[in-house]
Chains A and B, each alone.
Chain A
Amino acid sequence: MSSFNSQYVKRALFTASLGIVFTGLSACGEPVEKMEPATVLETSTVAAQATVPEIISQAEAKYAEAAALSHAWTTTRTLIEQARAALEAGDAGKARALAEQALATAVASVEQAGVEAQAWQSRVPQ
């Protein structure tokens, strides 16, 4: 289960990095800060016995935590909606995978808020 889940998250990450394509990246000779999608946890943080509704509410709580820090991702909200829809449609396996993904992105968004609370200063031109 957890290896299936980690594949899912990796796939989500891969699509994310394709989402934005720059051309002519190397044109300027200045040191360029790396453009990488945020790292999303690759292993499941979800207890094996947690039910799908429980995972969804954990994801929602983390999403709210990220929102309070101005760092919520649309990704999380979409995944939560999709997990709910899958649950209603009776596809428990899909619902579980989506809910775990939602939680993983929510955890990553809170981590991003933590890192960025300091990291932004390194980007201010001096």
Chain B
Amino acid sequence: MKSLSLLFLVLIISVPNAFADPEADRLALRAVYEKRFPDVPLDAHADGAYALDEAKREQWLEMEDFPPYEFTVDDGEVFYDTPFANGASYADCLGPDAPVVKQHYPRFDAASGEVVTLEQTLNNCRLENGEEALDYLSDELVAVTAYIAYQSRGAKIDIVIPDDPRALAAYEGGKQFFYERRGQLNFACSNCHIQMAGHMLRAERLSASLGQVTHWPAYRFKWEEVGPLHRRFARCNVQVRAEPFAQQSDVYRNLEYFMTYMSNGMELNGPSSRK
């Protein structure tokens, strides 16, 4: 009897702490949307607001007949295929499955102890091969990510959070950022994209956070160009009057890590177009 209760105690202690159980978080989040939108299959949220608004969806599908990101994907392919001065190329830094790799990003890098995004991997590749790093909003970097996203279409997001306290801390940091109210208007991401998902905010239908990362980079008509996910993060910060963070800052990389893990198992469908 005594040994049984001892065993029980050991079991309790070895159960991962509730604040660091990404898989439980993911399942709980999916359950929220399942309950909220019983008629919308979870995978449909990869289309963002267009999964929740039939009229807007029809307009959007019409636009996608002539995808506004097409030229960017084509440019990206040229950049991708053009060797650096030393003869190496982006593909050499992306492993044997290149260019179908987007499903694995962002990933935790044990050497640096940080979350590394696809954008950073491309820039690191340039540096290692004697090229200059590119601005994260530059045409070339955005185009190469658009090409990789296009090639990775249909692959299922497969983010790994290794059993490393630094990886869990990065995940937790992103999670906290997502649920914290900020800015003078005092909104958390979750206020708009969980609690208010499906409602209108001015003229816009609010998307669910599930699937928000499946389709980047995206052509935004407001930007009149293809832009990365972190640019959208910045916009969502500024609209509640919170100071945004730099592209590829640790804050946004950890946020991306958390959000992408939440969408694990969903199919990539980028690049895409958005209003």
Contacts and interface: CB of A to CB of B under 8 A. Distances in A.
Interface of A: 16-17, 19-25, 27-28, 32-33, 35-38, 40, 67, 70-75, 77, 105, 108-109, 112, 116, 119-121, 123-126
Contacts of A22: 196, 199-201
Interface of B: 19, 25, 28-29, 31-32, 36, 175-177, 179-188, 190-191, 194-196, 199-202, 238-243, 245, 251
A33 B32 contact: no
A19 B199 contact: no
Contact of A124 (B179, B195, B201, B240): B179
B36 A28 contact: yes
A76 to B, nearest CB: 8
B185 A71 contact: no
Given A112-B186, A120-B180, A123-B179, A25 B25 contact: no
A72 to B, nearest CB: 4
A116 B180 contact: yes
A106 to B, nearest CB: 11
B208 to A, nearest CB: 12
A105 B25 CA distance: 34
Nearest to A73: B184
Given A35-B191, A70-B251, A74-B238, A124 B25 contact: yes
A77 B196 CA distance: 29
A124 B199 contact: no
A74 to B, nearest CB: 5
Given A32-B195, A70-B251, A123 B242 contact: no
A125 B184 contact: no
- Which of B25, B28, B175, B184 has the most chain A CB atoms inside 10 A of its CB? B184
Contact of A71 (B28, B31, B199, B242): B242
A74 B243 contact: yes
B31 A125 contact: yes
Contacts of B176: 120
Please give me the 9 A-B residue pairs with the lowest Cβ-Cβ distance, nearest first: A120-B179, A72-B243, A38-B186, A125-B28, A116-B180, A120-B180, A123-B179, A75-B184, A23-B200
- Which of A28, A40, A77, A105 has the most chain B CB atoms inside 10 A of its CB? A28
Contacts of B245: 70
A25 B182 contact: no
Contacts of B194: 123, 125
A37 B199 contact: no
- Which of A17, A22, A37, A124 has the most chain B CB atoms inside 10 A of its CB? A124
Contacts of A124: 25, 28, 175, 179
A84 B39 CA distance: 54
Contacts of A119: 180-181
A73 B183 CA distance: 5
